[in-house]
């Protein structure tokens, strides 16, 4: 990403990051016919208080994420499968439940604010 632009191999030139993310979302939505994925953002703040937002797409399970990464690879979209684990905190009332939250990240895309896609 350079100055709010992302290189699109499909178009052969740099495009606005919003246009590129819309393309990424439309590609993702071809994975499961009739299912629509949402683009979400995670925030990261550095030691100077500067906050950036990184886009990701949440998927239901590891297999969906792996399939999406492969789909993106075929479109020359760099992506990574990500796993976030947490527990429900119910240790006093029984065995804690570990949740696995899978997503597909788009590394290298850092925005100054969240955008609507």
72-92 pLDDT tens trace? 999 989 999 999 998 877 667
Provide the angle, in degrees to the nearest 10, between the axes of the packed helices 62-74 and 17-28.
Answer: 120
Least confident of 1-15, 26-40, 61-75: 1-15
* Residue-range domain boundaries for the chain: 5-105
Q: What pTM value is reported for the model?
A: 0.82
Q: Judge whether 31 and 88 are in contact, CB under 8 Å.
A: no
């Amino acid at each position: 990403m350079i100055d709010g632009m992302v290189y699109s191999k499909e178009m052969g030139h740099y495009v606005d990051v919003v246009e590129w993310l819309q393309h990424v979302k439309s590609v993702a939505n071809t994975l499961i016919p009739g299912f629509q994925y949402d683009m979400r953002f995670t925030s990261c703040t550095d030691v100077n208080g500067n906050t950036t937002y990184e886009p990701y797409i949440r998927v239901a399970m590891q297999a969906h994420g792996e399939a999406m990464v492969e789909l993106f690879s075929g479109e020359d979209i760099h992506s990574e499968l990500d796993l976030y684990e947490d527990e429900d905190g119910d240790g006093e009332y029984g065995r804690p439940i570990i949740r696995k939250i899978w997503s597909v990240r788009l590394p290298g895309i850092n925005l100054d604010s969240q955008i609507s896609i």
